[in-house]
Chains A and B, each alone.
Chain A
């Protein structure tokens, strides 16, 4: 419409105050149109429950946002694809990261449907804040393993071997679950380990070994499995003292609770458990 107005007239008008006001009205009109489109978009993804109740009750659609511990990345990505195939019209989007920062995001109002944490302690911060819908349940367990360079050139065979001087070992920071588990395992072995770095999450610790910057890291068995041939895994008995339970829950303010429940059900189903055990997790 603007284009049909001759250029000179447009310029002259814009010089006048009234023209300025009209223009700003037009701009705010465009803004309102954008807002309308946006809200239409969000209602199309949020209104799936109505659509579900109107049609068959098992019809799910829209986006499911899953906040999950970094260690669940491979298996949950796979389960997400299965879920989308089984429920056409749904889209699972993941936010993988350190459990604690995910929990902090959830308690400060991040729009998530499902939370899967790598430790009950982290889950407790979410339930204490009243952000979980119902009681979280443990769906898998994970244990620590030593990740070292392929072929294990340093011949690491026990947790104690990591305390050798000159060996560059990275641990997770104590504030994240894999770090807390590492401290527990070290305490169980009565060992004093001096790492070169306390990494912010388990994947960061693993990456340092994959890039051969560190000789070894204490990570989850699932991470060793996920890294394929890029690291070698060494099991150690003290890991029994530091088994992590992974709780999962639908969130209280889930924008898409129907699909969220279905996703949690898939994770806990026999099929979901098979994907998770293939990734190296233990069953609860």
Chain B
């Protein structure tokens, strides 16, 4: 089959059974955002947004989401490679486990993190006893909670790209004398770069919006662990207008970042 399919007269019209649900889906996703814009307290917005708490929460959110993405990249890409390129018993089971945080309610994820890395947790008690490190109620705790929830998005995305990429390039590299790691670094990585970028963006976006695991594991303290979603939730308790204003900031920042990234790196994909 040629790359460009045969052009028929009806090929460019969108079938109605696809168009109608597609438009309904689009409207469903956009309407809540439109409602947010319609009901936004535009007049009070400058006041709401000049408060130092907002910028503090936003800065913390961006810092933590970016750190969580970097952490996910460092361990997630090798994990995806392991799942896609090696054979070991129980690989399907391991893959299912990796995706578990996707279905786990984030609050449960937060409790699980406390049980593992809390001051009294399975691993955490040794961290505390040997190194004096306690993770709950710290910014590091926020990064861990966000990584826990966001990394599966990256792993799944990268693994899918790896499976779609032709392994013969790597095989050719190894027959020409490259070690498997060199082949990964020099051949595989450039090949799957668009997939990694897409996965990183997904993970970053998920980390930025993370609420449940963060508030459960890291608590809520302005400037230390209070990220934007937490600030929004607590503002909603007694000042819905402020919550809307905060949401708009988060929305604007994520749109700006995602649009910027799309232009820069994601053309290839």
Contacts and interface: CB of A to CB of B under 8 A. Distances in A.
Contact of A101 (B137, B221, B237, B239): B237
Nearest to A175: B237
B227 to A, nearest CB: 13
Interface string B125-161: 0000000000011000000000000000000000000
Interface string A166-196: 0010100101100000000000000000011
Given A100-B237, A100-B238, A175-B234, A200 B215 contact: yes
B57 to A, nearest CB: 13
Given A211-B118, A213-B114, A213-B136, A195 B238 contact: no
B240 A200 contact: no
Contacts of A213: 114, 118-120, 136-137
A212 interface: yes
B238 A197 contact: no
B234 A200 contact: yes
Contacts of B230: 200
B120 A170 contact: no
A197 B237 contact: no
B238 A175 contact: yes
A170 B236 CA distance: 21
Nearest to B115: A211
Contacts of B215: 199-200, 204
A83 interface: no
Contacts of A176: 237
Contacts of A198: 219-222, 226, 234
Contacts of B235: 175
Contact of B17 (A20, A170, A199): A20
Q: Which range contains the number of B residues in contact with the other chain?
A: 20 to 34
Contacts of B119: 168, 212-213
B225 A197 contact: yes
Nearest to B225: A197
A98 interface: yes
B188 interface: no
Contact of B236 (A104, A168, A199, A214): A104
Interface string B213-256: 00110111110011000100111111110000000000000000
Given A101-B236, A212-B119, A213-B114, A199 B220 contact: yes
Given A197-B137, A197-B225, A213-B120, A173 B219 contact: no
Q: Which range contains the number of A residues in contact with the other chain?
A: 20 to 34
A208 B136 CA distance: 10
B221 A104 contact: no
Contacts of B216: 204
Given A173-B234, A175-B237, A176-B237, A211 B221 contact: no
B237 A195 contact: no
Nearest to A108: B240
Nearest to B221: A197
Given A104-B240, A212-B120, A170 B234 contact: no
A204 B119 CA distance: 17
A104 B237 contact: yes
Interface in B94-123: 111, 114-115, 118-120
Contacts of A98: 237
Nearest to A176: B237
A101 B115 CA distance: 28
B237 A199 contact: no
B219 A197 contact: yes
Interface string B1-30: 000000000000000010000000000000
Contacts of A197: 137, 218-221, 225
A148 to B, nearest CB: 14
Interface string B190-210: 000000000000000000000
Contacts of B218: 197
Nearest to B119: A213
A170 B235 CA distance: 19
A196 B221 contact: yes
Given A196-B221, A197-B221, A198-B221, A211 B236 contact: no
A104 B243 CA distance: 12
Nearest to B17: A20
Contacts of B118: 211-213
Contacts of A20: 17
Contacts of B225: 197
A196 B219 contact: yes
**Residue from the set B114, B136, B215 with the largest chain A CB neighbour count within 10 Å:** B136
Contacts of B136: 208, 213
Contacts of A200: 215, 220, 230, 233-234
B131 to A, nearest CB: 17
27 contacts: A98-B237, A100-B238, A104-B237, A168-B119, A168-B137, A175-B234, A175-B235, A175-B238, A195-B221, A196-B137, A196-B219, A197-B220, A198-B220, A198-B221, A198-B222, A199-B220, A200-B220, A204-B216, A208-B219, A211-B111, A211-B114, A211-B118, A211-B120, A212-B120, A213-B119, A213-B136, A214-B137
